[in-house]
Chain A
Amino acid sequence: MATNNNNYIAELVGQYGKNRTSLMPILQGVIEKKNFISDQDMTEIAKELDLSAAQVYGTATFYSFLETQPRGQYIIRVCKTITCDMHGKKTIVQTIEDMLKIKAGETTPNKKFTLLETNCLGWCHEGPAMLINEKPYSGLTPEKVHDILSEYMHK
């Protein structure tokens, strides 16, 4: 596991270089590989780029899409901002919680889904909206959410 770890960081560093400006693409690269950045990943990156671990941690935590804790295979992000909230975001979250048997912020035991609330996704005109990994879904109703999630559950 540990050697594996080194490999993909080294690969990313080889691809983007050791400059401080390479930090972002490297972090994004880790997310692409395994959907969260572990503390070992961060120390490895810090070592390669001659940064302190706290600096890498700072950058990773600044961006909400750079996850720093283990997440499920599919990360569901429901928009929590005011327009979606007024369009019934609460029932959407409730529907997902009921279906997956987890609360917002949690991950299913089989590590398939993580449910999060997020800031504005820019779909205010079609709220409520959510993202599953990188795919947006808008105009949500409990029924629609049911159909979408069922599909993912069988993936």
Chain B
Amino acid sequence: MKNTKKDTKKQINFTIDGIQVSVDEGTTILEAAGQLNIHIPTLCYHEDLCVAGNCRVCVVEQEKLKSLPASCATPAAEGMVIHTNSMKVRLARKHIVELLLSEHNADCTKCYKNGICELQGLASQMLTGDHMFLDLVPDHKYTIDMFNSAIIKDDSRCIRCQRCVRTCEELQAVSALGVAYRGNNMKISTFFEHPLFEVVCTNCGQCVNRCPTGALIERNYIDQVWDAIYDTNKHVVVQTAPAVRIALGEALGMHPGKIVTGKMVAALKRLGFDSVLDTDFTADLTIIEEGNELLTRLKKALLDKDPNVSLPMATSCSPGWIKFIEHTFPEFLGNLSTCKSPQQMFGALVKTYYCQKRKLDAKNVVSVSIMPCTAKKFEANRPEMRSSGYKDVDFVLTTRELGIMIKQAGLDFESLPDEHFDSLMGASTGAAVIFGTTGGVMEAALRTVYEVVTGREIPFEGLNITAVRGTEGEVREASLKIEKTKPEWKFLDGVELKCVVANGLAHAKKVMQDVKDGKAHYHFIEIMACPGGCLGGGGQPIPTNKDIRTKRKQAIYEEDMGMAIRKSHENPDVQLIYKEFLGQPLGHKSHELLHTHYTPRKRY
């Protein structure tokens, strides 16, 4: 059916480099060339974003036209004759890159993006060599914003392609970054050029993931982590988030969609971490705490008719989402689950429970986390994240930073054997793994909540609740009817649990606006700040685009299906910690270590 619909689209016939092509009306020259495997260089273009056409690197020659059109912004037209590699095109592209370089602080050896910079890649491809243009960098006053724990913005490396501005507006509906001033003074700026930490930036890092140069980068903590590893007095514990194991391979030359859990563990052990543990463990713990929190709120609302209970309840795992709601909908902070994110639960437990069991002094323990996320760096630095008496998570590294460390250590990642996480806070379930994708927290929670309430497994084939599996670019609503409950949950019998799943802050904003306007009524909301969920996080390997996210998502569900245990409440380490340490879900110790509060912030 789909095909016939496609066939009815008007076809455009034209020629690229002597090859006759026929494409759907509306296809750009760049896309058509891609279909023929002809690679046209681009900079401002990004699959996830609207077309800007401002860098001009993708120009092509069109016969009978004097100027060179930008192929990303020009739809194919009937009878066009296009040359992508003529002398005129090559010279123009080279001049364009040279002009960009004349305003770019190209001290590449001092740049974090050295070797993976798209501008550097084009310069080397085009053999720019001796530029014919004046170097304008020394005459310019540039701002470097290094005041943020997560993201560094260096205007001297910015080529003003505006990928970041479009990301912040289109995908995240935040617009912390905008375009200010005009002409040669034009710059990418926050409101009144305030540092990022003073404005509405959520630290999601989607801009960092899309910046083609070193203008927006994560603050890296690689050296600090090496120092800790080399310090013989320190016991260094590392935790790895669910979405890292399905993307790390990309940072080390492997194809997208490879599950590298075992190799990642092996690599971390060889880097010298004393204990390699799994954030999945606290993801499962989150489900127990959050699931019970949801049930408690439902009980208060439905049975006790408490008017002060905050429903819908929203997930709190995504620190970008947390900062977003603090800025944008501070009146809904009571609706957030009070559960800390799995990273922070883990940190708090490392310096308490883990130290107790391993007979370690918490002051000698360094807790490191590997995250697909830049906002986690900010989260770890929040003042309330010190409930162990120490900084719960000392250093947060992105997937990319771990990739760099593995390269620095000279490990041949692909040939590493598969190894297992260490025990005590190393056990994982399928439910925890899917935390890495949109809809995953919801699905994991439902697998547990349904069973707690009814005593039966959730009635879906293979435990796969496909109805809540979020899709990119849409808000997914689903409802689940609870029937034949256990006697103590009688008030939930026949209740239709209404859920909604959204990824990307633009969609989160829509969900919250609908809730605010009284247009939508839910019990449980799952939000992940990044497109596709954590698998598309700001700390994931570059490039990240829709195609790559789809492959990572498949890998996550594959990993879930491959796990022996697929429900959080069956995680043996989780059962153990309640028995030995925490007591019961939402108990006194849980509240002290695993729950938090939020801070209203200004949107303007």
Contact = CB atoms under 8 A, between A and B. Distances in A.
Interface stretch (B60-68, B107-115, B175-183): B175-183
A8 interface: no
A95 to B, nearest CB: 27
Interface stretch (A41-49, A104-112, A133-141, A147-155): A41-49
Interface string A12-43: 00000000000000000000000000010011
A7 interface: no
B175 A61 contact: no
A57 B192 contact: yes
Nearest to B192: A39
Q: Secondary structure at chain B's binding surface: helix, strand, loop or mixed?
A: loop
A63 B182 CA distance: 8
A54 B182 contact: no
Most chain B Cβ neighbours within 10 Å, of A52, A55, A62: A52
Interface in B165-188: 169, 174-182
Given A46-B604, A57-B191, A57-B192, A52 B175 contact: yes
A62 B182 contact: yes
Interface in B189-233: 189-192, 199-200
Given A54-B180, A57-B180, 19 more contacts: A39-B191, A42-B191, A42-B192, A43-B191, A44-B604, A47-B604, A52-B191, A53-B191, A54-B190, A54-B199, A57-B191, A58-B179, A58-B189, A61-B181, A61-B189, A62-B179, A62-B180, A62-B181, A68-B192
Given A39-B192, A42-B191, A54 B604 contact: no
Contact of B189 (A46, A51, A54): A54
Contacts of B603: 47
B604 A55 contact: no
Contact of A52 (B174, B182, B192): B174
Interface of A is mostly: helix
A141 B530 CA distance: 61
B151 to A, nearest CB: 15
Nearest to B200: A52
A52 B180 contact: no
27 contacts: A39-B192, A43-B604, A44-B604, A46-B604, A47-B603, A51-B175, A52-B169, A52-B175, A52-B176, A52-B191, A53-B191, A53-B192, A53-B200, A53-B604, A54-B178, A54-B191, A54-B199, A55-B169, A55-B175, A55-B178, A58-B178, A58-B189, A61-B180, A61-B181, A62-B181, A62-B182, A63-B182
A61 B188 CA distance: 12
Given A39-B192, A43-B604, A54 B181 contact: no
Interface size class of A (residues with CB under 8 A): 10 to 19
Contacts of A55: 169, 175, 178
Contacts of B199: 53-54
B235 to A, nearest CB: 44
Q: Which of B169, B175, B191, B199 has the most CB of A within 10 A?
A: B191
Nearest to B175: A52
A44 B191 CA distance: 13
Contacts of A54: 175-178, 180, 189-191, 199
Interface string B376-408: 000000000000000000000000000000000
A46 B328 CA distance: 13
B178 A57 contact: yes
A58 B192 CA distance: 9
Nearest to B185: A61
B197 to A, nearest CB: 14
Interface in A65-87: 68
Nearest to A63: B182
Contacts of A51: 175
Contacts of B191: 39, 42-43, 52-54, 56-57
In the A-B complex, the 4 residue pairs with the closest CB atoms: A52-B175, A54-B178, A43-B604, A58-B178
